[in-house]
Structure 1
Amino acid sequence: MTAILERPMTTGFDALLRTTEELDTPDGFKAELIRGKIVVSPWSSPFYKLQMRSLRLQLAAHVPEGHDADTIPFLFSFASSERAYGPDLHVADLAAFRGNARHVDGDALSLVAELTSVSTRDVDWQEKLEVYGRPVPVYLVLDMQAEEITAF
């Protein structure tokens, strides 16, 4: 199940981001800002845990100095694209997590991995590819339906 809260873009990215951050989502759900809409959807199913863990462990020894590979959910914002995502796996500069902000600047990311599902596949392949493709050096799409990994 995915719920979408639509608001006109006249409220502005900052207002939508603030609303996204402040949503009291049920346990196991995340809120993202996609195409000017707040989208609430479940975190990955338990089936994905082993794949995400395996990838995280393989990446851990190779992350840049001061960065960390993790699957803990955080909201990363991309102000220039007016988007905010909670990737399945991220490698990010730990310095970006200092302070009390409710989101992390997407520029802190050095790698993002998204595991597709039937409901997120199009967004992972199109929308997120376009947004991650600018500031994030490596974007991995683990296409769970096609059983393929693509690196950008």
Structure 2
Amino acid sequence: MTLMTEHPTISGGGPDSFEELLDILDELNLRDGFKAEIYRGNILVSPWSKGYYHRVMEQVCEQLRPHLPSDHSLTTGPFLFVFPGDECAYAPDIHVAHKRVFETDSNRLDGEGLSFVAELTSPSTRNDDLTDKVTVYGRAGVPVYLLLDMQEEQATVFWTPSAKGYVSHCTKPFGEKLHIPEPFDCTLDTTGFEAPRSS
């Protein structure tokens, strides 16, 4: 098994299956300030977000909430969504899913039940957010994936999921407005998504 952190490190052994990786994830006793996800057969441990990410996530949620599809829930809670076909398990920063997705006593939620995900990149996860997650979320049929590239200060929305990922996308620099497609059909104002400037 490979444990990847801000600077990837290898930890010996190797589970035989995705289910075994999920079991290991359940048993991990992470230090405060870290979360774990499964990427391409590896467990990735990454630090929690920077403080100002909370402001950005709140702004996204406030703008999306009035446009939620019926019986859907929007949250930033630490939930693990599994994608068995791709052997991945992600904990998106922001997610929307039908309320029935949460009616389970399992901590492994159905990734195909998502209607929206948003990821705020960090140096340790940015490459996966820009590549693998685009493919996995698209193949799972998630209608909208919003990628907030906190390092480049730009927002990309992906829509029209397909077997190869997403067919359509649009990128705007922070500070501009971005259309969020169906089932939301609203405008996201990215003003103020930038990092605080030191004086």
TM (norm. structure 1) is 0.91
2:196 matched residue in structure 1: none
Higher relative contact order (CA 8 A, sep 6+): 1
Shift of 1:22: 2.7
- What is residue 126 of structure 1 aligned with on the other side? 131
Q: Is 1:140 aligned to residue 146 of structure 2?
A: yes
Q: How many residues align?
A: 151
Runs (5+) with no aligned partner, structure 1: none
Go from structure 1 to structure 2 and tell me whether the alpha carbon gap of 1:24 and 1:90 turns closer, same or farther (over 3 Å shift): same
| 1:80-116 Cα deviation digits (max 9, x unpaired) | 1000011111111221111210111101110000011
Separation (CA, whole Å) in 2 of partners of 1:34 and 1:128 = 9
Structure 1 vs Structure 2 CA RMSD? 1.6
Q: Counting strand residues as a fraction of each chain, which structure ranks higher? A: 2
The match for 1:86 is 91
State how far apart, in whole Å, the 2-side matches of 1:101 and 1:134 are: 23
* 1:24-55 alpha-carbon deviations (Å, 9 max, x no partner): 22222211001101111112111200001100
- Deviation at 1:130? 0.9
Amino acid aligned to 1:107: E
Q: Tell me what 1:57 maps to.
A: 62
- Output the amino acid matched with 1:118: P
Shift of 1:6: 6.2
Q: TM-score, normalized by length of structure 2? A: 0.71
Distance 1:25 1:143 in 2: 26
What does 1:1-150 correspond to in 2, within 5 Å? 1-2=5-6, 7-8=13-14, 11-135=16-140, 136-150=142-156
CA-CA distance at 1:7 after TM superposition = 4.9
Q: Deviations over 1:101-135 (max 9, x none)?
A: 01111011100000112222111000111111112
Work out which of the two has the higher radius of gyration on C-alpha atoms and give 1 or 2: 2
**Partner SS for 2:43:** strand
Structure showing the higher helix proportion among its residues: 1
Q: Where does structure 2 lack aligned partners over 5 or more consecutive residues?
A: 159-199
Q: What one-letter code is carried by the residue in structure 1 that aligns with 2:90?
A: Y
Shift, 1:141, TM fit: 0.5
